[in-house]
Amino acid sequence: MSNEKKHVYGIDLGTTYSAIAFINEYGKADIIKNSEGNAITASVVYFENASNIIVGETAKEAGRQSKDDAARVVDFVKRQMSNKDYSFEAFGKEYSPVEISSMILKRIVNDAKETAGHDVKDVVITYPAYFGELERTRTRQAGELIGLNVIEILDEPVAAALNYGLEKPDIKGHNIIVYDLGGGTFDVTVIRIGNDPNKDEVTVVCTEGDHQLGGKDWDNRISQYYLDKFEEQTGFDIRSSDPEEIHETIYNLRIIAEKNKKTLTSRESVGQKVAYGGNEAKIELTRRQFDEMTEDLLDRTLILTDKLLETAKEKGVT
């Protein structure tokens, strides 16, 4: 097709959400929306049957239907990129983290073609600063597996700094901090942006992080709060039931918790009905309560940021 758009595409293959972008004619990064009209696609894969594999929000929702469906949902696969023994089994087939990641890539690449006519071939895929050689190679392989030409793989904080440099050209010659609290991991990095006006020169000075700290932990606090309040209001502790039986309820609570957490960005309070075993509780959560119950998590990110700044100082970067 002659009207197909060709660029080099940047793909953020995230733990919880992924996205694809290109540099438009004004020199700015343009995110291509997926077929649901969203800028980000949930990095979740659902095996509906042996031949129908679904990626995105629908996959995330599918797990809510039943325990059986939930067992066919893979999420947080990026955390397994370093795990040589990990594989996910569905309908008698084993899938490696590379294969699962490639399914996520395939969805966003296909969507870019369907929704905006972008013929995605040449790509740059980003990876977290803490990824070692194995995980980086595997990230590249995930792209190659679906026929993409992976021209480069790039450090996520470097990619963020490059984009920031595009938005703010006067940042040349400065040092910046990239604070990245993702769905499953936290990273904070000091980056030096070179002086040369004709070159995009960015170097990582130092990096810190906690790979077991992310938005998921904030969600968990809300889920726990709902379970506590449910017990307080109904006298019944859902957690005391058979884990098999409450699987669906717990899965639902996780999704609801994330939704309500996002709602609290704009609203000051959010209401939620929680029902189980014929009991129902109406639970209110205010932004203030949420901030209080997660303060220690935020503090952990600030402690790591202070530590990072100390290291940067030792390296003569302030």
Tokens 């959400």 -> residue: 17
Q: Measured between alpha carbons, how far is 129 from 54 in angstroms, rounded to an integer? A: 29
Tokens 């058979």 -> residue: 242
- 258 lines the binding site for ligand ATP (CB under 6 A): yes
Minimum CB separation of residue 43 from ligand ATP in Å reads 6
In the set 17, 46, 47, 276, which binds ligand ATP (CB under 6 A)?
A: 17
Contact, 38 vs 57, CB < 8 A?
A: yes
Assign 3-class secondary structure to 96-120.
CHHHHHHHHHHHHHHHHHHHHCECC
- 214 lines the binding site for Mg ion (CB under 5 A): no
Helix (H) or strand (E) holding 5: none
Nearer to ligand ATP, 14 or 143 (CB): 14
Contact, 9 vs 101, CB < 8 A?
A: no
Token output for 125? 């895929």
Contact, 205 vs 318, CB < 8 A?
A: no
Q: What is the DSSP letter of 48?
A: S
In the set 182, 184, 209, 215, which binds Mg ion (CB under 5 A)?
A: 182
Nearer to Mg ion, 22 or 131 (CB): 131
Mark the segment that binds ligand ATP (CB under 6 A) among 95-103, 132-140, 209-217, 236-244: 209-217
In the set 60, 72, 78, 138, which binds ligand ATP (CB under 6 A)?
A: 78
Q: Binding to ligand ATP (CB under 6 A): which residues in 125-184? A: 180, 182-184
Phi and psi angles of residue 306, each rounded to the nearest 5 degrees, phi first: -60, -45
Mark the segment that binds ligand ATP (CB under 6 A) among 44-52, 108-116, 244-252, 261-269: 261-269
Q: Binding to Mg ion (CB under 5 A): which residues in 12-31? A: 14
Q: Which residues lie near Mg ion (CB under 5 A)?
A: 14, 182
Q: Which residues lie near ligand ATP (CB under 6 A)?
A: 14-17, 78, 180, 182-185, 214-216, 258, 261-262, 265
